[in-house]
Structure 1
């Protein structure tokens, strides 16, 4: 319903009231009271219509925050950008690192380091991270691999999902094995995704699915898949994509170099 007739009525009543000047008699006063009552009735109709219009506008889908879009575009231009994925034997402080993977802004693998732990991997851990004991038979120990890991992070701007987890595992390993602590400059992609999608608890699996780039089904999902999943999410933010409905138009450009099938099952927030 158009509010134009109501607005016209209000303007006419206001003009009529102004033209009357001050009250001249009791009869005039009664007429003024009736006219003012009618005026406020019409105003109420306008307010009701405006309230309905506001409700309609509020049903529109939220727009992605421009600040996060600009951030993602800026980060993707960094020549030293690296997106890591760290696989471990668990989540507690005693967990050992068994794989460190880093990719660049194109999805190319900068390095992919398998590390032999002090104890064999359990079937459950292998199911989660896609690494099997046979893959680690000839892998270096963490002490042997540490200098190589340090070189991977050196001079890099690191963006990773749940970066506190990565830092904690690197620091716990350094303390436990008396290795040099590793410091790097970086940002937590999960925090940015939370601000972008309005969901601080979203997992990487959920974010990848939402933008139309689901991770492979485990046990076929690897650290490389998750690292490239992070890149897909970063690219989606840069393109202002918030769901797979709009992501499908950009899947071809975003999926360059990506591996995996279209199926997905629920995973832990930190799949080791």
Structure 2
């Protein structure tokens, strides 16, 4: 079976269990896939690390929380005017901090020295006119920096975002010593055999709504949805911190 198709089917089973809020026997799970007759040969191989197998199938997320207790997590994303650090500029920053049951979100546009190209404006949906009234990068980072403290950073394609974020913070005399987990690495371990691991490809496999625009906060939420799934795939009943998983 094609790996992408297998993961889609497994995600449909997880979604059915979440909708029910209780363990289900295999025949009822089979209904989520439109199966009739014996379902064990089909459903059984689909049960990845998210599931508690047995006569009735449950979900590990009902047994232990994400993120791991005692590990504050910040998911972060940037939008930029281009791909070249040092030449391109940040035009949007967003993050979500998860700490226990507390959730804090931050999002801000950033005023660049030059307006972004029409291509970038179309890609992000951020118009040059919106950026004219946005705060400068130093002001945005000063607001966001306290939310990073003591947290594990989770970033999709982390090296790209950090190539912009670290120099900007260093220019303000601020360090970034946080442990960093790249969600692409986690996805490659949990979802083996896929051709691509970008957010759009992972969204298709996990049946998340397609992206219309590349906006920082929406991409943070999408990264969180992906990481939530792969966290339980990888922990499979043995809860660990994201720092441990990312090693």
TM category (shorter chain) comes to 0.5 to 0.7
Shift of 1:156: 1.9
- 1:77 aligned to 2:68? yes
1:180 aligns with 2:178: no
CA distance in 1, matches of 2:232, 2:179: 24
| Counterpart in the other structure of 2:83 | 91
Cα deviation for residue 116 of structure 1 reads 0.4
Please report the TM-score for the alignment, with normalisation by the length of structure 2.
0.61
Q: Secondary structure at the match of 2:202?
A: helix
Q: Which has the larger radius of gyration?
A: 1
Give 1:164 shift.
Answer: 1.6
Higher relative contact order (CA 8 A, sep 6+): 2
Q: Which residue of 2 aligns with 1:124?
A: 119
Rate the CA distance shift 1:95–1:157 in 2: closer, same or farther, 3 A.
Answer: same
| Maintained 8 Å contact 2:80/2:91 | yes
Q: Deviations over 1:230-265 (max 9, x none)?
A: 111122224549xxxxxxxxxxxxxxxxxxxxxxxx
> How far did residue 206 of structure 1 move?
0.7
Q: Which runs of 4+ in 1 moved over 6 A?
A: none
Determine the C-alpha separation between the residues in 1 that align with 2:216 and 2:197. 19
Alpha-carbon distance, 1:136 to partner: 1.6
Distance 1:200 1:181 in 2: 36
SS at match of 1:116: coil
- Greater percentage in strand: 2
DSSP-derived class of the 1:102 partner: strand
Aligned to 1:153: 148
SS in 2 for 1:127: helix
1:183 to 1:126, Cα distance in 2 relative to 1, 3 A: farther
Q: Does 1:195 align with 2:186?
A: no
Q: 1:107 to 1:159 in 2, by over 3 A?
A: farther
The answer to whether residue 234 in structure 2 is matched with residue 212 in structure 1 is no
The structure carrying a bigger helix percent of its residues is 1
- 1:235 matched residue in structure 2: 228
Q: TM-score, normalised by structure 1?
A: 0.56
| Distance change >3 Å, CA 195–CA 65, structure 1 → 2 | farther
In the alignment, the residues of structure 2 paired with residue 70 and residue 118 of structure 1 have an alpha-carbon distance, to the nearest angstrom, of 48
Q: Is the 8 A contact 1:191 1:200 kept in 2?
A: no
Distance (Å, rounded) in 2 between the aligned partners of 1:97 and 1:86: 7
- Give yes or no for contact 1:100–1:112 (8 Å, CA) kept in 2: yes
For structure 1, list consecutive stretches of 5 or more residues without a partner in the other structure.
Answer: 1-56, 242-272
Is residue 166 of structure 1 aligned with residue 161 of structure 2? Answer: yes
Q: Within 2, Cα distance between the matches of 1:148 and 1:182?
A: 15
Q: CA separation in 1, counterparts of 2:160 and 2:102?
A: 22
Describe the shift of the 1:154–1:216 C-alpha distance in structure 2 as closer, same or farther (beyond 3 A): same
> Secondary structure of 1:183's match?
coil
Structure 2: 5+ residue runs without aligned partners?
1-40, 51-58, 235-247
